[in-house]
Structure 1
C-alpha cells in the first residue's frame, strides 16, 4: 500500500513539474510581449505623452516594462526551481509571481482610472498647451509633439483650426503672417500656414482633442487588457507552484 502511494505521489510530482515547466516557458514568452507593449508605448508614442499633464498613462507603460522584465527573469528561475525540486527556490518563485501579479493589476487599475478621466483632462489642458507653449523657448518637445499630432492625425487646433488665432505663436512676429502652424497643412511646405482654407488646412470636426483621445483610449485598453490578462494567467502559475511545493519533501538542512 505504501509503495502504491509513493508511486502515485511520484507520478503526480512529475506531472506537476512538466505542467509548471510548460507554464514557465509560456510565461517567459508572455513577459517579452508585456515588455514590448510597454517599450513601444514609451518609445513610439512618447510625443503624445508630453501633451498630457497627468503621468498616469506613462506610469502604466513603465509598470508594464518593469513587470515584463521581472516576468522573463522569473520564468528562468521557475524552470530551475521546477527541475531541481527545491522548495526554497519555489518559495522565492511564488513570491516573485505574487509581486508581478500585483504590478500587473496596478497597471490595469491605473489604465482604467485614467480611461475615466481622460476626456475631462484633455479638454482642460490640450488647448492651453497649444496656445501657451507651442513654438516658445524651452518648449521644443511640445512644439514637436503638436506638429506630429496635427500631421499624423490630420487635424488642426485643439477643437478647430480657429483656436490658433489666440496662440502666442500666431500673435508673435515669428509667425510671419501665418494663421495656423504649417503642420496644419494637408501638404506640408514652409509657410503654407498663411492660407486658412479647407483646401489647404485640415478642418476636422472635434479637432485634435477627439483624435488624440480616441488614440490614447485604444492604447489604454491594450495596457489594461495586457496587465489584467497576464495577472489572471499568473494565478494558474501560483496554483501549479503550490501543488508542486506540497508534493515535494522538505529540503534537507
Structure 2
C-alpha cells in the first residue's frame, strides 16, 4: 500500500506544490527586500550597521532567483523535464543557502544591534530635539495608526 503512493502520480503534485510554495516564499522575500530598500532612507538613523545594505541585497537576489526558478520547477514537474527539475533543485539549494546566510548575519549581529538600540534609547532620553527621536516618533505613530485601523476593522467584522 505504501509503494503505491511513491510513484510518479504522487511525486508530481508534490513537486508542483513545493514549487508553488517556493514561488510564494521567494516572492515574499523579494517583497520584504524591496520594502527594506525603499524604507531604508526613512529609518537610516536607526540602522547604522554596515551589513544592513548587504543583507538587503542578498534578500532581493535570493528572492528574485527563487521567484524565477520556482516557475522552472513547476514547469519541469508538469512536463517531466529532468533538466528543468535539476536546475530548480540546484537553484533552490543556492537560494536557501543565501537566505540562511542572511539569517546567520541577523543572529551574529543581534547583540551589536541590541547594544546600539540601548545607546539610541539613552540618547533619546538625554536630548530634547534629535533627528533620531523624530524617526522613532514617526515609526510609533505609523504603527499606532495601523493598529487602530486593524482594531476598528476587527470590531466592525465581529
How does the TM-score come out when normalised to structure 1?
0.45
Task: Say which of 133, 140, 160 aligns to 2:126.
Answer: 160
**1:214-243 deviation per Cα after TM superposition (whole angstroms, max 9, x unaligned):** x9xxxxxxxxxxxxxxxxxxxxxxxxxxxx
Q: How many residues align?
A: 134
Report if the CA contact (8 A) 1:56-1:111 is conserved. Answer: no
What does residue 67 of structure 1 align with?
A: 62
Specify every segment of 5 or more residues in structure 1 that has no aligned partner in the other structure, as ranges: 1-6, 127-154, 163-179, 184-206, 216-253
**1:49-83 deviation per Cα after TM superposition (whole angstroms, max 9, x unaligned):** 35544222232222211111111111100012112
**Counterpart-to-counterpart distance in 1, 2:53 and 2:87:** 30
Alpha-carbon RMSD across the aligned residues, in angstroms, is 3.3
Q: Which SS does the other structure have where 2:109 is aligned?
A: helix
Specify every segment of 5 or more residues in structure 2 that has no aligned partner in the other structure, as ranges: 141-158
Task: Say which of 84, 95, 101 aligns to 2:79.
Answer: 84
What does residue 14 of structure 1 align with?
A: 9
Q: Which SS does the other structure have where 1:46 is aligned?
A: coil
What does residue 99 of structure 1 align with?
A: 94
**Counterpart-to-counterpart distance in 1, 2:47 and 2:99:** 23
**1:10-55 deviation per Cα after TM superposition (whole angstroms, max 9, x unaligned):** x711210111111211221121111111111221243323554422
Cα distance change of structure 1 residues 100 and 108 upon mapping to structure 2, 3 Å threshold = same
What does residue 26 of structure 1 align with?
A: 21
Task: Say which of 13, 19, 41 aligns to 1:46.
Answer: 41
Q: Which has the larger radius of gyration?
A: 1
1:117 partnered with 2:83: no
More helix by percentage? 2
**1:133-173 deviation per Cα after TM superposition (whole angstroms, max 9, x unaligned):** xxxxxxxxxxxxxxxxxxxxxx99544126xxxxxxxxxxx
Report if the CA contact (8 A) 1:42-1:61 is conserved. Answer: yes
